[in-house]
Structure 1
Amino acid sequence: MLILLYNILQSLAIIILWPLLLVVIFRKKKYGSRMLSRFGLGLPSLAPVNKAKVKTYWLHALSVGEITSAAPLLAALRQHWPECRIVVTVTTTSGEKLARTLLVHSVDHILPAPLDFRPTVYHYMKIIQPDMYIHVETDFWPNLLTMMRAKSIPTILVNGRISSQSLKSYNKYRFFFSPIFNSFDHLCMQTEQDRTNMLAFGIARTKILTLGNLKFDTPAVKNQGNSEIQSLLPKEKKILTAGSTHPGEEKLIITVYSRLKHSHNDLFLVIVPRNPDRAAEIATLASDAGIKARFRSENTQDSISDLLIVDTIGELIDVYRASWAAFVGGSLVPTGGHNPIEPALFGIPVLFGPHMEDFSEIASALIKSGGGTSVHDIESLQSCIQKFLDEEPVRLQQGKSAREYVEKQQGVIDKHLNLIRSLL
């Protein structure tokens, strides 16, 4: 009954708002260039396969963060079942662009995600013919999941997370979200707290598994080859990286950096904003503080700039690899924080603010292990970086502890592969 009401309201909205939707879609390049495909028009035909021998996995991801999270799992699927067909759908333009670079050796097809209209979803399913549907983290759509269930296609949520704040929001619209979560065969959550929150939402205990965060098994540490962006970083400098930053954070970070740089000329700052379109805004903040910035997209290395602003997508992990210490953004402002696992992978100290609600269990564990530090304001951030500058053994030990914490959590991919094997 709920899905019927959803489709009726959806149809009415399209009938009433279609002129406005057309204007928005075709005036904005990032929408117009993919919208026809998202309606299911012009999709490539996938060669038929022997379904008795070749399984087709359909993995759906919202954007850049979800693609990055899914990459280790997709690589493992390809390694363990090389004959399988893997189709990835991505909602955002930036996510699809990254997928076409990051997943080139892992997947067979990358498509724009379908809009959640029944005819469109039906067309996608007819083309892909999935044997399993794997959904990464978020971006839930009722028609897609309902149709999977109707056709008895196994569905799993991977890297699931639900913060206490999200739980409150879901509870307000329980009538909508409860059927969505219950439509999955299994919900693979990142942490025990995520599992507890899902239980509190009323999801059946047998559906919920705590398998960990896929990023714990990111193979990036083993791939030490120099990337293009690493060649742009000054080799003789101590690279301090502020990753996935949000408005309100860059000014604090730049202020701390400008203070420390007076006595530590070997310090170099890299800022990787969550939204690359804010690069010019950040450069203005730097100029106001007397800091000369350059952009990653300029693809140049000079000896006079003090700051590199990464205005590209998908290169944060390569910057972390070359870093001396890292600050994880979205945490000094109340946005829930971002994943601290990637910098910890490379054995560097991990700093973050008090707003790590979306990764509270991982952040707490990093602090307890001695690999992470929570900073609350400009003074505590400066004090912590100053200590690393003055006491190199302290920095090295914290980085070592961060890496050891990650290594103890590894094995997440094997748990997911075992689950997938059991469902087919």
Structure 2
Amino acid sequence: MLLLYRLLFPVALLAALPFYLPRMLRRGGYARHFGQRLGRVPVLPPQPAGVRRVWIHAVSVGELQALGPLLELLREEHPAIQIVMTTTTSTGYALAERKYEPYLTYLGYFPVDFWPISRRTWSRLQPDLCLLMEGEIWPEHLHQARLRGVPTVLINARLSERSFRRWHALPRPLREPFAMLSRIVTASEEDGRRFARLGITEDRIVTSGNLKLDMTPAPILVSAELEQLRTDLGLGLEAGGDRADCEDPARPLVLAGASTWPGEEEMLLRVACKLTDHGLPCKLLLIPRHAERRAELRGLLIKEAVAAHFRSSGLAEGPVNVAVADTTGEMVVLLQAADVVFVGKSMAPHQGGQNPIEAAALGKPVLFGPNMQNFRAVVDSMLAAKAGQVVRDETEVFDTVAMLLRDQTARRDMGRAARNWHRAGKGATRRTVDAITRFLEPNR
């Protein structure tokens, strides 16, 4: 399988360039440290006696934020370890640099999974343990670990039903990457069952729960700060209105679209306009999953003649109907300005869904479409706790948001249930550290 992968990988990479290169140019930031992706990393000195070096790889901003409590606990219980961290996206790198760099021996971009590049990176970083977040299964990377006798652990591991079907359809020899993992620490019991059905022995599977549930949202804004945030976004009172705190009925209510994808912004805009037409003044906060779509969204709002403000342009000059948060790393702060949150990538034709946990942790009423396959266990437990609600189409979005905006008690009850659900789900960090501790023993 590995020989076939090595032969086909360069071909697949070249074939994918026309798709990925424009995306990289739109997002920007990829030129910086680009050589690291090609194995141009510094040679790290050998570890002192008794020191273990851990290579942690995560991709998205959400994954990197979820690592915060894990890093703190690892450093507390294993103070002699060195942490090497890699990521894939420029936004992920920026967050890791801002949040974790003082604690890291090395921060860089994950190398292209091609034999000479991966081998060079491994020989220079020389880790003793490798942790991969969620679904980062890279055959060459895992092979290089096996050659060196370095254990590899997939943490917060998730396997959607769609991904499971794809892997299960492959002949067993092509599932070799899973066999190279020393342990799989899954985000849910259902994920664990799927890995087991792929042939992973039960002694290598541990269920920890979702690491993202252990993230404590911060900073939490006080009333004056929250009012200032709404003003900065253009979501405060109309000119001449009285100042209002978050419970004042005079304050315009805010519907937020969190990590939205194309088509969902148009839907939410129609919903917000319809709510206003029905006597429920509603402002819209759009937080697109990809900030580089700002030009596309600007065109949409100009076409619809909607007063809008883009956060990347600075402070709003006055009240607007729609605020677009075309920035990164601010989700927790921005969602505090919302009264109801719709989670993106959950409406057809999109599938998978984005992370609903941050909104729930903030005590917001959380709505999501029917296509939340990547967070199925999370969504099922939220629904059971009445901490979230499925809205299957635009009509249900309008009806549910209208009900919540009219009924302050319903909003409070749903938000309280969401916050309680989040608190009850904590503990994954502790269980994950317990699952990997034996790999950190100096005499391994």
| Shared fold, TM over 0.5 | yes
Q: For the residues of structure 2 that align with 1:111 and 1:95, how far apart are their CA atoms?
A: 10
The secondary structure found in structure 1 opposite 2:327 is: coil
How big is the shift at 1:212? 0.9
Aligned partner of 1:130 in structure 2 is 127
Unaligned stretches of 5+ in structure 2?
237-243, 245-251
Aligned partner of 1:319 in structure 2 is 334
Q: For the residues of structure 2 that align with 1:120 and 1:366, how far apart are their CA atoms?
A: 43
**TM-score normalised by length of structure 2:** 0.85
Aligned partner of 1:208 in structure 2 is 205
Alignment of 1:37-116 (within 5 A): 37-41=36-40, 43-52=41-50, 54-116=51-113
1:411 aligns with 2:427: yes
Q: For the residues of structure 1 that align with 2:199 and 2:229, how far apart are their CA atoms?
A: 46
How big is the shift at 1:89? 0.8
Alignment of 1:152-301 (within 5 A): 152-175=149-172, 178-220=175-217, 224=221, 232-233=232-233, 234=235, 236=244, 237-262=252-277, 263-265=279-281, 267-301=282-316
**CA 1:49–1:203 in structure 2 vs 1: closer, same or farther (change >3 Å)?**
closer
Q: Which among 379, 388, 394 is matched to residue 404 of structure 2?
A: 388
Aligned partner of 1:372 in structure 2 is 388
Q: For the residues of structure 2 that align with 1:399 and 1:91, how far apart are their CA atoms?
A: 34
Q: Please, which moves more after superposition, 28-37 or 152-161?
A: 28-37
**CA 1:195–1:177 in structure 2 vs 1: closer, same or farther (change >3 Å)?**
farther
Q: Please, which moves more after superposition, 339-348 or 60-69?
A: 60-69
Q: For the residues of structure 2 that align with 1:84 and 1:239, how far apart are their CA atoms?
A: 45
How big is the shift at 1:151? 1.8
Structure 1 contact 241–323 (Cα < 8 Å) conserved: yes
Aligned partner of 2:3 in structure 1 is 4
> Which protein, 1 or 2, shows the higher relative CO under an 8 Å CA cutoff with sep ≥ 6?
2
Structure 1 contact 295–310 (Cα < 8 Å) conserved: yes
How big is the shift at 1:209? 1.6
Q: Deviations over 1:264-303 (max 9, x none)?
A: 33x3321111121212222333334442111111121232
**TM-score normalised by length of structure 1:** 0.89
Which amino acid counterpart does residue 232 of structure 1 have in structure 2? D
Structure 1 contact 75–106 (Cα < 8 Å) conserved: no
**CA 1:247–1:130 in structure 2 vs 1: closer, same or farther (change >3 Å)?**
same
Structure 1 contact 78–107 (Cα < 8 Å) conserved: no
Q: Deviations over 1:301-338 (max 9, x none)?
A: 23231111111122112212333221101111232111
The secondary structure found in structure 2 opposite 1:96 is: helix
Unaligned stretches of 5+ in structure 1?
none
Which amino acid counterpart does residue 44 of structure 2 have in structure 1? L
**CA 1:287–1:195 in structure 2 vs 1: closer, same or farther (change >3 Å)?**
same
Identity between Structure 1 and Structure 2 (%): 29
How big is the shift at 1:245? 0.8
Q: For the residues of structure 2 that align with 1:176 and 1:4, how far apart are their CA atoms?
A: 12
**CA 1:106–1:240 in structure 2 vs 1: closer, same or farther (change >3 Å)?**
farther
Which amino acid counterpart does residue 232 of structure 2 have in structure 1? L
**CA 1:10–1:411 in structure 2 vs 1: closer, same or farther (change >3 Å)?**
closer
Structure 1 contact 59–89 (Cα < 8 Å) conserved: yes
Q: Please, which moves more after superposition, 100-109 or 323-332?
A: 100-109
**CA 1:264–1:47 in structure 2 vs 1: closer, same or farther (change >3 Å)?**
farther
Q: How many residues are matched?
A: 415
How big is the shift at 1:350? 0.5
How big is the shift at 1:70? 2.6
